[in-house]
Amino acid sequence: MSYHQYGISPQLVERIKLKMKNPAVKERVKNMINGISRQDLQDSAIVKRLVHNAAGAMNEKLTSVQEEQIVRFVIAQKIDPNNTFHLIRLWGMFR
């Protein structure tokens, strides 16, 4: 399922991908998600906090609608951060 179906703009995704190429930003975001479990990624409050904090680390101003779209997308993916297949699938989505 594509992020487009959740109303997330390709321009936003491209900006974030570009910002994540900065090693300092990438490290800050990696530290935020270190230790996150599958259950955490199904909890909208936790996901919303992660999205908000990651956007701040990237100096990306998200509207409340954009935040909600991203939260719904993350929850719908049923991501297990300990499952390599899930991570490869996500990587492929945003290449």
Task: Count structural domains, the chain.
Answer: 1
What is the sign, positive or negative, of the torsion defined by CA atoms of 19, 34, 84, 68?
negative
Q: Are 85 and 10 in contact (CB under 8 A)?
A: no
| pLDDT at 87 > cutoff 90 | no
Q: What is the dihedral of CA 76, 78, 79, 83, to 10 degrees?
A: -150
Mean pLDDT rounded to a whole number for the chain = 91
* Stated pTM of the model: 0.87
21-25 average pLDDT score: 93
Residue numbers of the domain that contains 37: 3-93
Q: Are 60 and 18 in contact (CB under 8 A)?
A: no
Length of the chain: 95
- How far is 70 from 62, CA to CA, in rounded Å? 10
| pLDDT at 1 > cutoff 70 | no
